[in-house]
Amino acid sequence: MRYPIFSFFLLTLAFLISGLPLDADVTGSILGTVTDANRGVVPGVEVVAVNPETNLRQTTRSDNVGEYRILALPVGKYRIEASTAGFQKFVVSGIELTVNEQHRVDIVLQVGNVEQSVQVNAELAQVESTNSQLGDVVEVEENVGSSAERAKLYRPAGPSGRRGACEFGDHFAGSPRLWRG
């Protein structure tokens, strides 16, 4: 009977030390639609995401309806370049990609030579409009005050809605609470 418990303990310890449950998604995606000046979709356009700090380059092509997706990009600043025959090269820089973000960059190509380019700076406020999932960078601050004051912040609200207003016999998630606030 002693060995199964010891084996279970060792297996659990090995799993925790391995770091497998610590994997986190620290990537984002850039996506959009490629159109011409008349709002017609342009398929087959080469779209490149470049991280100028790491020189990471990831390339894709717009599909039959002009849409493109560049998935699993590490967080950071990016530049998007798009080019195809008969159109000016399109460049947008200053894109700040954050954790779990699906950043939309719609590309409008202008008729002209590939040697000519249209450059846009994306340093303005960016709004996530393609995904309802939340992801953010969390910074830790030191909590001040006595432990009694902090405890008040974390006490659940009772049926009256007041924080710390629990009464004898109140139920939270199906289990009775026997504390009086």
Question: Which two tokens mark 149?
Answer: 């004051």
Overall number of domains in the chain: 2
- Strand duo 171-172 + 175-176: pairing: antiparallel
Which distant-in-sequence residues (6+ apart) come within 8 Å of 109 by Cβ?
Answer: 34, 35, 36, 37, 42, 45, 82, 84, 87, 88, 90
Q: Give the residues across from 41 on adjacent strands.
A: 35
Question: Domain check: are 153 and 103 in the same one?
Answer: no
Between CA 76 and CA 7 the distance in angstroms is 43
- Summarize pLDDT for 39-93 with one digit per residue, the tens: 999 999 999 999 999 999 999 999 999 999 999 999 999 999 999 999 999 999 9
Q: Is the pLDDT of residue 170 over 90?
A: no
Question: Domain check: are 108 and 44 in the same one?
Answer: yes
Which distant-in-sequence residues (6+ apart) come within 8 Å of 10 by Cβ?
Answer: none
- Summarize pLDDT for 133-147 with one digit per residue, the tens: 555 555 545 555 555
Residue 68 forms part of a structural domain: yes
Instruction: List phi, psi (to 5°) of 92.
Output: -125, 130
pTM of the model: 0.56
- Cα–Cα distances (Å) from 98 to 15, 59, 80, 135, in that order, read 29, 19, 16, 8
pLDDT of residue 1: 52
**Structural domain harbouring 71:** 27-121
- Summarize pLDDT for 86-136 with one digit per residue, the tens: 999 999 999 999 999 999 999 999 998 756 666 677 654 455 555 555 555
Question: Domain check: are 77 and 117 in the same one?
Answer: yes
